[in-house]
Amino acid sequence: MTMDVSLQDMKPGDSARVVGFAKGERDYRQRLLAMGLTPGAEFSVTRVAPMGDPVEITVRNFTLTLRKAEAAILRAKRT
């Protein structure tokens, strides 16, 4: 079973699939899309900074680091 999850609530080793983005925040959405976080893309969390910002993920065989503001608009389901 899959469930909605916020990237901010995930821990290293967790995996999810992008299902969409929050409304608004067009600049961040465009940036995430350009970096390969398109709907359907699977990613896994590799590291989380002690205070939760930033979060490092692996998507499409490369590592990407996202700040809280960017991570907050990402909608995902656990895989």
* Structure confidence by residue, pLDDT tens digits, 12-71: 999 999 998 888 778 888 888 988 899 999 999 999 988 878 999 999 999 999 988 888
Q: What are the sequence ranges of the domains in the chain?
A: 4-78
Q: Across residues 3-13, what is the average pLDDT?
A: 84
Q: Are the beta carbons of 79 and 16 closer than 8 angstroms?
A: yes
Residue 1 pLDDT level (bands cut at 50, 70, 90): very low
Q: Which residues are within 8 A (CB) of 10 and not within 5 positions of it... i.e. 6 or more apart?
A: 16, 45, 48, 55
Q: Which fold has domain 4-78?
A: SH3 type barrels. (2.30.30)
* Distances in whole angstroms, Cα of residue 78 to Cα of each of 12, 27, 31, 71: 13, 25, 22, 15
Query: What per-residue confidence (pLDDT) applies to 3?
Result: 64
Query: What per-residue confidence (pLDDT) applies to 79?
Result: 83
